[in-house]
Chains A and B, each alone.
Chain A
């Protein structure tokens, strides 16, 4: 409890980080309460091409409807759900793979390190989006495949960070002591080394999380996101792009949504990283 209170106290002195925190909180609340808040079903067609503020059967279409007549506000709220679920899932999975590979490469060194580092370099020498497109167009776009593609593309970067830190930590006395004590390699990596990586990894995760959200949006925009009827912010922009010059509300609403969510995480990361930032 004291920890929560300390964070809240810290946020009061950093207005910029507080704004970020508020934006993140807003979208988490929207995602959690989507079934309660959404005025309509996100995939049911109502009146096509309704402008914001139009009526449907006595109910207000606050943000209008899209080309198929689905309520944009409801799609935004349910879209927050899917983007947050997949971004959290992808980030956790990428960290699980990246941290494991990084610990192994940094701790064992030698051949393990050579093989893992070469694999990571091959993936990193490729523009990330090209990698996503190649993976998703061949294995097909679905929720699970998005998780896989994001993991493959982000794990090498995480591995590099962890490997570098592990190389340095394994030479410390506490690791030597653990070895003399007869602890196994897995125990040393997970219990002795891993907890020391927490600080750098938290900041890395915050920035990476914002980037994963952008990536999921981009995939949706390119037609490689969740399959069609699902409310996905990137796909909403893609579907409305053709008519955007006549009905800009259809692209603006999801664009504001994704930008504000990413901005929230980036402002929060900025506040966490800078110990004496005055905001």
Chain B
């Protein structure tokens, strides 16, 4: 177990290193003048040259990369070119907003998709199963920006129940959170529900379920006591991996509803070419992806005793 964690930690560090170099190189190739972006269009060529020199832009690329890396290791993320403040000052509050959004989505999506998946899978092929399957195909077919348009037209334009943007300019308001959460839940719940259904349907065909039923236990008890426990192992790991998907969806939803979160920040930083902010966002994305993947593997091994860490491929 310890070996497994160390191996994963090494993998995380290596991935972060590779990704940061790739991002740095990509930005290095970008045509465009950093000084003109930072100083504005009225700066003279001389002012631009002085700024570039003062900020070390005439040094070779690998030297600037190593300087950034050294600062990163001491916990210094550098300064944002676009916002002109330390990257941390802007990154952490935005990340917190996204965590709030993501937590709300998971809190609704997980119980909903597990319930629907179990109902569909416990009686395979029945109308309830078919209906849930088709609903989940339909909802996963509607991209987030399209369902955001549908829900806005209905709840903001036609009914006037909810605000159309979620900038939270007047402080935290749960009403502004409703539409972004609804859009993400709609797009994501179908996949987890389908995985749960497949897992549940598989468990229901096992001999021990038939034995329990033949023993005279009611269908309800068999489902709740015997089937559920085993059927939820696979969906659990899927949910953890879903966090990675959520990060992609969050970019679209935050940009549609002008929610001030991590996704919108990443998009702004990329469009501006704000190198240190992009690097920081990319590192956060990699950490989230690798940590959830590791948690999913650990949880899977813990829940399913047949899988052991030693020797086996992880």
Determine if chain A interacts with chain B: yes
A-to-B contact residues, CB < 8 Å = 16, 121-122, 125-130, 133-135, 137-139, 210, 214, 217-218, 221-223, 234, 237-238, 241, 244-245, 248, 251-252, 254-256, 258-259, 262-263, 266-267, 270, 278-279
Asked if A130 and B282 sit within 8 Å, CB to CB, the answer is yes
**A127-B134 in contact given A133-B270, A244-B149 (Cβ < 8 Å):** no
**A237-B149 in contact given A128-B248, A129-B252, A222-B267 (Cβ < 8 Å):** yes
Smallest CB-CB separation from B290: which chain A residue? A125
Asked if A130 and B141 sit within 8 Å, CB to CB, the answer is no
B82 CB within 8 Å of chain A: no
Give A232 to B116 CA distance when docked, in angstroms: 35
Asked if A244 and B157 sit within 8 Å, CB to CB, the answer is yes
The 4 closest A-B CB pairs, nearest first, are A129-B248, A255-B146, A263-B141, A251-B149
Main secondary structure of the interface of A (DSSP, over half): helix
Closest Cβ–Cβ distance, residue A228 to chain B (whole Å): 15
**A127-B142 in contact given A122-B19, A137-B271, A263-B137 (Cβ < 8 Å):** no
Number of interface residues of B (CB under 8 A): 53
Partner of A125, one of B15, B125, B134, B158: B15
B219 CB within 8 Å of chain A: no
Closest Cβ–Cβ distance, residue B92 to chain A (whole Å): 18
Give A217 to B149 CA distance when docked, in angstroms: 13
Asked if B153 and A244 sit within 8 Å, CB to CB, the answer is yes
Closest Cβ–Cβ distance, residue A142 to chain B (whole Å): 14
Asked if A137 and B141 sit within 8 Å, CB to CB, the answer is no
Give A138 to B26 CA distance when docked, in angstroms: 6
Closest Cβ–Cβ distance, residue B173 to chain A (whole Å): 18
Smallest CB-CB separation from B270: which chain A residue? A137
Asked if B149 and A133 sit within 8 Å, CB to CB, the answer is no
Partner of B145, one of A125, A221, A267, A279: A221
**A125-B153 in contact given A222-B251, A241-B256 (Cβ < 8 Å):** no
B29 CB within 8 Å of chain A: yes
Asked if A126 and B19 sit within 8 Å, CB to CB, the answer is yes
Give A263 to B143 CA distance when docked, in angstroms: 10
Which residues of A have CB within 8 Å of B125? 278
Which residues of A have CB within 8 Å of B270? 133-134, 137
**A138-B27 in contact given A210-B141, A218-B143 (Cβ < 8 Å):** yes
Give A263 to B140 CA distance when docked, in angstroms: 8
Give A231 to B18 CA distance when docked, in angstroms: 37
Asked if B142 and A259 sit within 8 Å, CB to CB, the answer is yes
Give A252 to B247 CA distance when docked, in angstroms: 25
Give A245 to B143 CA distance when docked, in angstroms: 20
Asked if A127 and B137 sit within 8 Å, CB to CB, the answer is no
Q: A130-B281, A138-B27, A263-B141 are in contact. List 13 more A-B contacts (CB 8 A).
A: A122-B19, A127-B247, A128-B248, A129-B251, A130-B282, A133-B266, A133-B270, A137-B270, A139-B26, A218-B143, A244-B153, A258-B146, A270-B137
Closest Cβ–Cβ distance, residue B17 to chain A (whole Å): 10
Asked if A121 and B15 sit within 8 Å, CB to CB, the answer is yes
Which residues of B have CB within 8 Å of A251? 149, 152-153
B78 CB within 8 Å of chain A: no
Partner of B143, one of A128, A135, A259: A259
B255 CB within 8 Å of chain A: yes
Smallest CB-CB separation from B11: which chain A residue? A121
Partner of B289, one of A125, A129, A263, A278: A125
Smallest CB-CB separation from B138: which chain A residue? A263
Asked if A133 and B145 sit within 8 Å, CB to CB, the answer is no
Give A122 to B270 CA distance when docked, in angstroms: 20
Give A245 to B255 CA distance when docked, in angstroms: 16
Which residues of A have CB within 8 Å of B278? 134
**A245-B157 in contact given A122-B18, A138-B27 (Cβ < 8 Å):** yes
